[in-house]
């Protein structure tokens, strides 16, 4: 007879989503089991050896503000840190770090091993079933576990296949074992599965690359960090390189298109729009004479290099000729061939914004199983699902982030309301409130929201209080009238004519006067935390825009506050069009604001819902 082992929660998968979910649960006191198909893939970077990037860096800063782990790990294992878009406004600047992928794996695995309330097991999940208030999770080895909450964070492992040319292998990323049974179990629970595709470029041997022919890319002189809790400043030890394809490269690819797995019918899944293969780029942008790529080191303990921008699934013989046609790679040797990977995922519209299933209470989903791409998107969902699984166990209301307070909220709302027909990637352009959703103020926006759930340490709270006090000090200092001499120095450095005397805040409102120029020409803010200076500066520079944004959000907030019951049968709501009834019944929105974003719902349908909402409130005597 099989003995059942009992836990409060079970996390399936120990990739970037599973790590965050497991640690969030364990750190809030839940007895947690995390099961991985192999513990050798814990936190493994199967694709690019980096964390962050445009939009993605915002997610990492936000999950760190909620008490998540990725920012801490990224800072500890970084080999190069750069601020992208540093010449542009604060709202679109995003941090990106090259990581030692093997150190990152070891660092995250050790975090799971050493966490209180957390047990890690290597096994493959065969089935998940509901038995009263509990879930029964059975493994292929015969192990059986029980818990009141389950977080599915399987990444790209469910029924995954590796495709390279005409070769199709039933494996997971990097040839790890795949999950053969769980997709079937989820389908039996009523979940509709979809087939998505992603891919990764080749890994090249560094000693066979002529780096002298490529453009050097170095890290920032003073690196910014992902985590507010990072004490020791990371050091930039790695150098990356930039290069370009050419017409010969494109000719080789065009001549081999008939050999691509897509043409051969071996790939049927939907690929990522914002991370296309090089063959897709050649076809879609036929007028471009070249495409950019970046060479990035995989880590300090290896001579493998990742060639970002040249992902492909063409046959190995074509890959060799293609890479060797590029300047600097004429004699390159391939260590690992590029490949595509297909896998099963769910339609996230079956989830609440808390990432809990609408059909089965206590069952949560996070990461690429929800149809997203990227480590950062996965980790952000993981911390949200972990917090809410813990809240579910404790009978607390879920933490629901929205489009006005976080990129995580934007992502969650996009996934559960609109869904995605391709692997979803976070972009700054997806956020309506990006002026206020900057990476530098993530803690000011989110940390206090997470405090009731227990993921925020006392040290983090104290740091936030210190930052707030410093911001107030900085704002008061910026009201100081500046001497004419100081104003002249500032404006001369900014390349402007010397104006009349003014306050420090008035000087900083001028377009060419940056915070760096201001700090360099005056000691006024000496002793104020850099983070506090940045917040005060942003408030000054974006003041008029933020006021306009605030006015625009009032109507949206009104609609978000008009709550709808998840049990409402829209087929009974008179006045709604049939399409709207069907789409709303499938989506089960929690507010009229969310209902307005459901595909197929028109403004006229929204007005019907508003009228019904007002009638209901009137009937309640409110």
pLDDT, tens digit (0-9, with 9 covering 90-100), for 314-365 = 999 999 999 999 999 999 999 999 999 999 999 999 999 999 999 999 999 9
Q: Which fold has domain 561-619?
A: DNA polymerase; domain 1 (1.10.150)
Helices 316-324 + 247-255 axis angle, to 10: 170
pLDDT-derived band of residue 622, with 50, 70 and 90 as boundaries?
very low
pLDDT at 1 over 50: no
Please give the C-alpha separations between residue 285 and each of 17, 252, 258, 289, in angstroms, as whole numbers: 34, 16, 18, 9
The CATH code of domain 4-198+343-449 reads 3.50.50.60
The reported pLDDT for the residue numbered 498 is: 73
Reported in sequence order, the residue ranges of 13-87 that DSSP labels E, i.e. its strands, are 32-36, 50-52, 78-84
Spatial separation of the C-alpha atoms in residues 485 and 501, rounded to whole Å: 8
The reported pLDDT for the residue numbered 242 is: 97
Instruction: Classify residue 433 by its DSSP letter.
Output: T
Spatial separation of the C-alpha atoms in residues 518 and 525, rounded to whole Å: 9
Helices 442-450 + 458-477 axis angle, to 10: 140
The reported pLDDT for the residue numbered 376 is: 98
Tokens of 72: 């801490």
Spatial separation of the C-alpha atoms in residues 13 and 8, rounded to whole Å: 16
The reported pLDDT for the residue numbered 604 is: 82
Reported in sequence order, the residue ranges of 485-545 that DSSP labels E, i.e. its strands, are none
pLDDT in tens, 279-321: 999 998 999 999 999 999 999 989 999 999 999 999 999 999 9
Please compute the mean of the pLDDT values over residues 364-372 and round it to a whole number: 97
Residues 573/575/580/585 CA torsion (nearest 10 deg): 0
Please compute the mean of the pLDDT values over residues 542-571 and round it to a whole number: 82
* Closest CA relative to residue 378, chosen from 386, 85, 591: 386
Spatial separation of the C-alpha atoms in residues 510 and 521, rounded to whole Å: 15
Please compute the mean of the pLDDT values over residues 137-143 and round it to a whole number: 97
pLDDT-derived band of residue 127, with 50, 70 and 90 as boundaries?
very high
Spatial separation of the C-alpha atoms in residues 229 and 339, rounded to whole Å: 37
Domain 200-340 has CATH 2.40.30.260: yes
Helices 16-27 + 70-77 axis angle, to 10: 120
pLDDT-derived band of residue 618, with 50, 70 and 90 as boundaries?
low
The reported pLDDT for the residue numbered 561 is: 81
Q: Which fold has domain 458-546?
A: Arc Repressor Mutant, subunit A (1.10.10)
Measured in degrees and rounded to the nearest 5, phi and psi for residue 349 equal: -65, -10
Query: Cβ–Cβ contacts within 10 Å for residue 85, how many?
Result: 14
Higher pLDDT, 514 or 377: 377
CB 430 within 8 A of CB 55: yes
pLDDT at 439 over 50: yes
pLDDT in tens, 382-398: 999 999 999 999 999 99
SS3 content of the chain, % helix, strand, coil (to 5): 40, 20, 40
The reported pLDDT for the residue numbered 2 is: 62
Residue 377's H or E segment, with its range, is helix 375-394
Measured in degrees and rounded to the nearest 5, phi and psi for residue 559 equal: -70, -35
218: alpha, beta or left? (left if phi > 0; alpha if psi -120 to 50): beta
pLDDT at 569 over 60: yes
* Closest CA relative to residue 5, chosen from 134, 184, 186: 134
pLDDT in tens, 444-475: 999 999 999 999 999 999 999 999 999 999 99
* Closest CA relative to residue 363, chosen from 19, 180, 128, 158: 128
pLDDT in tens, 506-537: 999 988 999 999 999 999 998 898 899 999 99
Query: In which residue are the tokens 């996965």 written?
Result: 378
The reported pLDDT for the residue numbered 621 is: 45
The reported pLDDT for the residue numbered 182 is: 98
Strand partners, 78: 99
Average pLDDT over the chain, rounded to an integer: 93
The reported pLDDT for the residue numbered 74 is: 98
pLDDT-derived band of residue 619, with 50, 70 and 90 as boundaries?
low
pLDDT in tens, 193-209: 999 999 999 999 999 99
Q: Where are the domains of the chain?
A: 4-198+343-449, 200-340, 458-546, 561-619
Please compute the mean of the pLDDT values over residues 410-419 and round it to a whole number: 93
End-to-end CA distance of the chain: 58
pLDDT in tens, 45-88: 999 999 999 999 999 999 999 999 999 999 999 999 999 998 88
Spatial separation of the C-alpha atoms in residues 554 and 264, rounded to whole Å: 52
Q: Could you write out the DSSP letters of every residue in 67-123?
A: T-SHHHHHHHHEEEEEEETTTS-GGG-EEEEEE-HHHHHHHHHHHHHH-TTEEEEE-
CB 102 within 8 A of CB 304: no
How many Cα atoms are found within 13 Å in the side-chain-facing hemisphere of 343? 30
pLDDT-derived band of residue 603, with 50, 70 and 90 as boundaries?
confident
Tokens of 135: 């879930």
Fold agreement between 200-340 and 561-619: no
Please compute the mean of the pLDDT values over residues 121-145 and round it to a whole number: 96
Query: Cβ–Cβ contacts within 10 Å for residue 542, how many?
Result: 18
The reported pLDDT for the residue numbered 268 is: 83
Reported in sequence order, the residue ranges of 171-290 that DSSP labels E, i.e. its strands, are 193-205, 215-217, 240-244
Query: In which residue are the tokens 């004479």 written?
Result: 289
Strand partners, 128: 137
**pTM summary value:** 0.91
pLDDT in tens, 17-36: 999 999 999 999 999 999 99
How many Cα atoms are found within 13 Å in the side-chain-facing hemisphere of 229? 23
């Amino acid at each position: 007879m099989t003995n059942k082992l009992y836990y409060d929660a079970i996390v399936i998968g120990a990739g970037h989503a599973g790590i965050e979910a497991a640690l969030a649960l364990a750190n809030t006191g839940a007895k947690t089991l995390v099961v991985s198909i192999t513990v050798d893939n814990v936190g493994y970077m199967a694709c690019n050896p980096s964390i962050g990037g445009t939009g993605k860096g915002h997610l990492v800063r936000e999950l760190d503000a909620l008490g998540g782990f990725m920012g801490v790990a990224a800072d500890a294992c970084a080999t190069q840190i750069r601020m992208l878009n540093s010449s542009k406004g604060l709202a679109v600047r995003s941090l990106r770090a090259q990581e030692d992928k093997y150190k990152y794996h070891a660092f995250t695995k050790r975090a799971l091993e050493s966490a209180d309330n957390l047990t890690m097991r290597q096994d493959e999940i065969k089935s998940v079933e509901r038995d009263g208030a509990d879930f029964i999770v059975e493994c292929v080895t015969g192990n059986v576990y029980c818990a009141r909450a389950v977080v599915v964070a399987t990444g790209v492992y469910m029924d995954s296949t590796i495709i390279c040319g005409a070769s199709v292998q039933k494996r997971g990323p990097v040839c790890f074992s795949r999950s053969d049974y769980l997709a079937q179990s989820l389908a039996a629970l009523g979940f509709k599965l979809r087939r998505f595709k992603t891919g990764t470029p080749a890994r090249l041997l560094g000693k066979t690359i002529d780096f002298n022919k490529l453009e050097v890319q170095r890290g920032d002189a003073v690196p910014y960090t992902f985590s507010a809790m990072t004490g020791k400043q990371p050091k930039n030890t790695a150098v990356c390189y930039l290069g370009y394809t050419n017409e010969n490269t494109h000719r080789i690819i065009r001549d081999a298109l008939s050999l691509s797995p897509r043409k051969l019918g071996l790939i049927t899944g939907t690929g990522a729009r914002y991370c296309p293969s090089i063959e897709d780029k050649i076809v879609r942008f036929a007028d471009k004479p070249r495409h950019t790529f970046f060479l990035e080191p995989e880590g300090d303990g290896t001579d493998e290099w990742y060639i970002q921008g040249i992902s492909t699934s063409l046959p190995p013989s074509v890959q060799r000729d293609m890479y060797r046609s590029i300047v600097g790679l004429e004699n390159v040797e391939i260590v690992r061939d590029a490949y595509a990977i297909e896998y099963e995922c769910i339609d996230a519209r079956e989830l609440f914004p808390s990432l809990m299933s609408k059909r089965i209470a206590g069952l949560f989903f996070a990461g690429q199983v929800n149809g997203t791409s990227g480590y950062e998107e996965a980790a952000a969902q993981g911390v949200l699902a972990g917090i809410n699984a813990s809240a579910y166990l404790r009978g607390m209301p879920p933490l629901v982030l929205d489009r006005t307070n976080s990129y995580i909220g934007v992502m969650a709302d996009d996934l559960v309301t609109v869904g995605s027909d391709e692997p979803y990637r976070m972009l700054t352009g997806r956020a309506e409130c990006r002026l206020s959703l900057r990476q530098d103020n993530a803690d000011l926006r989110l940390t206090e929201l997470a405090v009731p759930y227990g993921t925020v340490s006392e040290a983090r709270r104290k740091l936030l209080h210190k930052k707030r006090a410093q911001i107030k000090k900085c704002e008061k200092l910026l009201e100081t009238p500046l001497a004419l001499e100081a104003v002249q120095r500032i404006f001369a450095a900014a390349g402007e004519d010397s104006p009349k005397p003014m306050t420090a805040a008035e000087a900083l409102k001028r377009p060419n006067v940056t915070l760096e120029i201001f700090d360099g020409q005056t000691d006024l803010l000496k002793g104020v935390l850099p983070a506090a200076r940045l917040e005060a500066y942003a408030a000054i520079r974006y003041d008029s825009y933020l006021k306009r944004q605030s006015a625009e959000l009032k109507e949206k907030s009104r609609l978000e506050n008009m709550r709808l019951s998840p049990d409402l049968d829209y087929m009974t709501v008179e006045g709604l069009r049939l399409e709207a009834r069907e789409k709303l019944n499938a989506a089960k929105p929690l507010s009229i604001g969310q209902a307005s974003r459901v595909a197929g719902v028109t403004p006229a349908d929204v007005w019907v819902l508003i009228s019904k909402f007002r009638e209901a409130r009137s009937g309640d005597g409110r």
